[in-house]
Amino acid sequence: MIDYQAPLRDMRFVLYEVFNVADDWARWESLSELVDQETADAILEEGAKLVSKTLSPLYRTGDEQGCHWQDGKVSTPSGFKEAYQLYSEGGWTGLSGNPEYGGMGMPKSLGAQFDEMSCGANLALMLYPSLTSGAALAIDAHASEAIKSLYLPKMYSGEWAGTMCLTEPHSGTDLGIIRTKAIPEDDGSYSLTGTKIFITGGEHDLSDNIVHLVLAKLPGAPAGPKGISLFLVPKVLVNDDGSLTEPNSVSCGSIEHKMGIKGASTCVMNFDGAKGYLVGDLNKGLNCMFTMMNYERLFVGIQGLGSAERSYQNALAYAKDRLQGRAATGVAYPDKEADPLMVHGDIRRTLMNIKALNEGGRAFSTFVGQQLDKAKFGEAYEKQKAAGLVALLTPVAKAFFTDMGLECCVAGQQVLGGHGYIAEWGQEQLVRDVRITQIYEGTNGIQSLDLLGRKIAANEGAYFRLFADEVRVFIGNAENSEFAPALSKALDELEQATEALLKQTADDPNTINAACVEYLQGFAYVAYGWVWAQMAEVAKAQLDSGTDDQDFYQAKVTTARYFYKRQLPKGSALLKAAVSGAEELYGLSNEQF
């Protein structure tokens, strides 16, 4: 398996040429002091070095060795500790962290690029520091000043890692029925007892301490989701000066044997009267979680994107190298025993599929990152709209990037034929690893329900119209674009499907659940159509102006055309399926299934 290389040229293209994020940064006072294009480029280049030299080489060995549990301790694969150390020392855990507590305060549009490259290089290893960043985000937003100043600097520096402890054996998606109990103590802390499962990084040997964020219920708390509170439970208790004292009553009972991400420990965590500290208000624990959810969900989506990019790089290298068969148009390399795979139309189609999905996904993730930045750093007039777009588009990004992540890893594997199925080439690991991204942080079914139920039906399409208006404005401005007619038609279909579903759901409450997955995918194809048209228009302008980089921009235009011919039509079929009603789904009794 070749080592991963960050697609820096393409990242700069979407950041600065398509979405002009540097102009935003310059406009916003709180950001303009921290970052400009030059700084951001330096960060991207440093990041690219780190991921290709430090993270990527541990990709396969991490899978081969996996994690090991013994007597409650978990050891990570060899090399992980040193890589984690370098990562931490580079400040990457705090890349988007609050500067008041030692974070670098970088915008998400930039962070999204680093997320993509680091997850593309080594997903399993990246889960440890990224869970820390996520936990830090929730602490920064909701914890007391005392907790923040005690915990955040150590988390941003990677000295202490973080986890999210939500799932219990009987309760995954349905957090309302969790059983972990929190009993108030006289000193203002809480005593937590219960079992959490599927806890990524719940125990490991990478950091001095692990800070668990745990959902639990007080005795007598309201039933369901409204009785859930959030607690910070350190693995080792902490003095006020930040020094470590004695171990807390937290233990790792075992780790899971999984399909992939074997370098990441997935732990059963037992809390046995463990000391914990309330984060946020009592019974508002789910709200605290939601704060970080848009970031985390976009991040998980980007894991799919990074994996797909690695699949592309690996499959492309193989297709250029492997000799097999002859070109349909006649022998291309008469001096060789056979032509390279690249001469074959189906191999090129497979690679173009991945390329079009990856570059479309990268543009879309950058757009969503930009909206997160607008919602956080922007002026009053832009905040609200951006927040609406973030709410709407985050589930699309999470589900579609990861669905396409699997599709692209499987497609890349297919290019390698039998060699894709054996461990040696790394391609089968990509498939096993990326598969989790469709499941965790809310399955893609749950993302789709969130999109159609909470983000569209619940506000009668208000967020949806924000998006549709953006696309309409683009079409209006680009009316001579070769892509405008097809994009306009695709948007019409999406609008009609959305309206139809809003009507259907008034009559049949099962509509949303029955329609949502295909609706989300149909939506995503339209959204990709939009970003592809934007990229193509930027590229055409460059070509018209006689750019030196003809190859790059011409490839953009050609790939956009490919997307419109080959991929956009899938959206139509999906939307047609989505509006077909729930009747047949409930036409069978459980026994007839």
493 is catalytic: no
- Cβ at position 41, least distance to a second copy in Å: 23
Distance, in Å, from the CA atom of 557 to the CA atom of 569, rounded to the nearest integer, reads 18
Contact between 422 and 428 (Cβ < 8 Å): yes
Contacting a second copy within 329-388 (CB under 8 A)? 329, 337-338, 342, 344-352, 355
Supply the angle between the helices 462-477 and 380-415 in degrees, to the nearest 10.
80
Supply the angle between the helices 462-477 and 484-507 in degrees, to the nearest 10.
170
Considering the complex, state which of residue 242 and residue 453 has its C-beta at the smaller distance from a second copy. Answer: 453
Query: Could you give the 3-state DSSP secondary structure of residue 334?
Result: coil
- Cβ at position 51, least distance to a second copy in Å: 21
Return the structure tokens found at 447: 């993302």
Considering the complex, state which of residue 276 and residue 301 has its C-beta at the smaller distance from a second copy. Answer: 301
Dihedral angle over CA of 260, 264, 266, 269, nearest 10: 180
- Cβ at position 577, least distance to a second copy in Å: 4
Taking CB under 8 A as the criterion, the residue among 72, 417, 476, 485 binding a second copy is: 417
Dihedral angle over CA of 94, 371, 456, 490, nearest 10: -130
Contacting a second copy within 479-518 (CB under 8 A)? 509-518
- Cβ at position 508, least distance to a second copy in Å: 9
Considering the complex, state which of residue 60 and residue 142 has its C-beta at the smaller distance from a second copy. Answer: 60
Considering the complex, state which of residue 370 and residue 447 has its C-beta at the smaller distance from a second copy. Answer: 447
DSSP string for residues in 149-199: HHHHHHHHTTSEEEEEE--BTTBSS-GGG---EEEE-TTS-EEEEEEEEEE
Contacting a second copy within 193-222 (CB under 8 A)? 197-198
Does residue 428 bind a second copy (CB under 8 A)? Answer: yes
Does residue 585 bind a second copy (CB under 8 A)? Answer: yes
Does residue 149 bind a second copy (CB under 8 A)? Answer: no
Stretch that binds a second copy, among 37-45, 291-299, 434-442, 482-490 (CB under 8 A): 434-442
Stretch that binds a second copy, among 30-38, 94-102, 142-150, 255-263 (CB under 8 A): 255-263
Considering the complex, state which of residue 322 and residue 383 has its C-beta at the smaller distance from a second copy. Answer: 322
Taking CB under 8 A as the criterion, the residue among 311, 358, 413, 498 binding a second copy is: 413
Q: Which amino acid is at 166?
A: L
Stretch that binds a second copy, among 69-77, 205-213, 228-236, 321-329 (CB under 8 A): 321-329
Burial of 459 (0-12, 13-18, 19+ CB in 10 A): middle
Distance, in Å, from the CA atom of 222 to the CA atom of 236, rounded to the nearest integer, reads 31
Distance, in Å, from the CA atom of 394 to the CA atom of 385, rounded to the nearest integer, reads 14
- Cβ at position 570, least distance to a second copy in Å: 5
Whose CA is closest to 67, among 283, 295, 300, 267?
267
Contact between 331 and 285 (Cβ < 8 Å): no
- Cβ at position 138, least distance to a second copy in Å: 21
- Cβ at position 68, least distance to a second copy in Å: 15
Q: With CB under 8 A, what is the number of residues at the site for a second copy?
A: 101
Q: Are strands 181-184 and 68-70 parallel, antiparallel or unpaired?
A: unpaired
Q: Considering Cα of 570, then 576, then 582, then 584, what sign does the dihedral take?
A: negative
Considering the complex, state which of residue 226 and residue 576 has its C-beta at the smaller distance from a second copy. Answer: 576
Q: At which residue do the structure tokens 């102009």 appear?
A: 23
User: 305 vs 130, 301, 309, CA distance in Å?
Assistant: 16, 7, 6
Provide the mask over 535-564, with x wherever binding to a second copy is found by CB under 8 A and - wherever it is not: ----------------xx-xx--xx-xx--
Considering the complex, state which of residue 109 and residue 505 has its C-beta at the smaller distance from a second copy. Answer: 505
Provide the mask over 559-578, with x wherever binding to a second copy is found by CB under 8 A and - wherever it is not: x-xx--xxx-xx-xx--xx-
Whose CA is closest to 58, among 256, 190, 206?
206
Catalytic residue, chosen from 116, 296, 309, 441, is 441
Taking CB under 8 A as the criterion, the residue among 211, 406, 457, 471 binding a second copy is: 406
Distance, in Å, from the CA atom of 58 to the CA atom of 75, rounded to the nearest integer, reads 15
- Cβ at position 427, least distance to a second copy in Å: 9
Return the structure tokens found at 232: 């910070």
Considering the complex, state which of residue 503 and residue 565 has its C-beta at the smaller distance from a second copy. Answer: 565
Considering the complex, state which of residue 321 and residue 379 has its C-beta at the smaller distance from a second copy. Answer: 321
- Cβ at position 25, least distance to a second copy in Å: 31
Return the structure tokens found at 424: 């040696």
Distance, in Å, from the CA atom of 188 to the CA atom of 427, rounded to the nearest integer, reads 51
Contacting a second copy within 155-184 (CB under 8 A)? 167, 170-174, 176-177
Taking CB under 8 A as the criterion, the residue among 316, 375, 386, 396 binding a second copy is: 316
Stretch that binds a second copy, among 185-193, 235-243, 282-290, 423-431 (CB under 8 A): 423-431
Distance, in Å, from the CA atom of 529 to the CA atom of 181, rounded to the nearest integer, reads 48
Query: Could you give the 3-state DSSP secondary structure of residue 266?
Result: strand
Measured between its terminal Cα atoms, the distance across the chain in Å is 43
Contacting a second copy within 91-130 (CB under 8 A)? none
Contacting a second copy within 264-293 (CB under 8 A)? 266
Considering the complex, state which of residue 258 and residue 472 has its C-beta at the smaller distance from a second copy. Answer: 258
The set of catalytic residues is 441
